Structure formats: C-alpha cells, structure tokens
Chains A and B, each alone.
Chain A
C-alpha cells in the first residue's frame, strides 16, 4: 500500500523485556515522527527525524527509549527493560518535509502498534 505501515500491530511483552517497533514511511517522505498515545491521554510527541538525523531527542520519556532511522526510510523505536507504564499505542507518521507551508507539514499516520507490558 501507499500509506505509512507499522509492525507489529500488537505486542504483548513481559516487564523487563526489550521491544522493537518498526515504521515504514510513505516513499519519498523525508520527515518521520514517533508519538505515543496512552489510555485516556492525548498524543505525546516522542521524536522526529529529518532524513536520518534526529535534531531533538528530548521528547523521549527516558533513556530506555531510543530510535534510529537508516537510509532515510524505515525507522525503529526500541524500548529497553519495558515497564508497565510503557503500555500505549505507538504511532508513527511521515511527511514530505517539515518546512515551507502546511502541505509539507501534513503528517500521514500509520495505524499504530499497541504495546501491552504485563
């Protein structure tokens, strides 16, 4: 398909395990974003990539969270030593770029990965 895809769609893990979430952006989109939506709360911005670089990592909740993007395409969000409070839906979005007008800034969202930490 032509949209943003994420895998897995659902992940159940035990507390203390590491998980890796994957995002495939729309082809040609240089900007990629990770968000988290916890139950009953709004979307929380985590990190964005422009190309392969992430200018600002301050949105990551703790040093257990890391993200990388290689080849300007696929991105992975890794959570080490998962905790129950990490349970949430992790959303990925991509956009053409981050500059020059609202059309560039329109973010297309994937369906999300629902993470449950037992």
Chain B
C-alpha cells in the first residue's frame, strides 16, 4: 500500500536551519503537505506543493520536491524556539485521501 516515511526526531540549534525529510511511495500523488502540531494544539497546515512543482518558498519555509526520487523536504531557516513542534508530511492520493507520515519532532537546542 501507499506509505509515507519520515525520521522521528530532528535536533537543531537555535538560529540554524532545520531540514525535515519525507519519502513517499505513491507515484500518482497530486499534492504534498506539511502540517505542524504544537503541544496541546490541533494540526495546522504549514504549506503545500503541487506535484508538478519542484520548489516553493514562503518566508522562512522552503519546500523541495524531487518527484523522481519521491522525496519531499521542508527547510526552516533561522529556527526559533517557537518552531518546536511535530511536523507531519502528507500526500494526497488519487482518491483524495491524505496518507500521513509518523511525524518528525523538531527539538531546538539553545
């Protein structure tokens, strides 16, 4: 079946860039998403990218998509303590369902 994989943890120093990686298996993905879940809060859509794009930039966030390798990444520039959260990668399959990764917990070191 379709699968989305991400590392469970990423630790970075405050001020550095964070790069969260995700791989997926569905070659018919239409959209790919990054969601953020802060402690005690619901999920928040951070950004998305259409499958025919290879890059999208939004302020401190840069999404890179390598469709050939089925690899998606989220880069957060100048990481701040407020970026501490779990980041979920998700892809939308041909049935309009979201297939989710397990989430990457971003830990910020002072």
What residues make up the interface of A, taking CB atoms closer than 8 Å to B? 3-4, 33, 35, 41-45, 48, 56, 59, 91, 93, 98-99, 102, 105-112
- In the bound assembly, the distance between CA atoms of A37 and B90 in angstroms comes to 14
Contact A56 B45, CB 8 Å, known A42-B101, A42-B102, A43-B88: no
Tally B residues with Cβ within 8 Å of A.
Answer: 21
Contact A42 B103, CB 8 Å, known A102-B48, A111-B41: yes
> How many A-B pairs fall under 8 Å by CB?
51
What residues make up the interface of B, taking CB atoms closer than 8 Å to A? 4, 31, 41-45, 48, 50, 88, 90, 92, 95-103
- In the bound assembly, the distance between CA atoms of A108 and B92 in angstroms comes to 15
Prevailing SS type, chain B contact patch: strand
The 10 A-B pairs with the shortest beta carbon distances in the complex, nearest first, are A42-B102, A43-B100, A109-B43, A109-B42, A98-B96, A111-B42, A42-B100, A102-B48, A102-B31, A106-B45
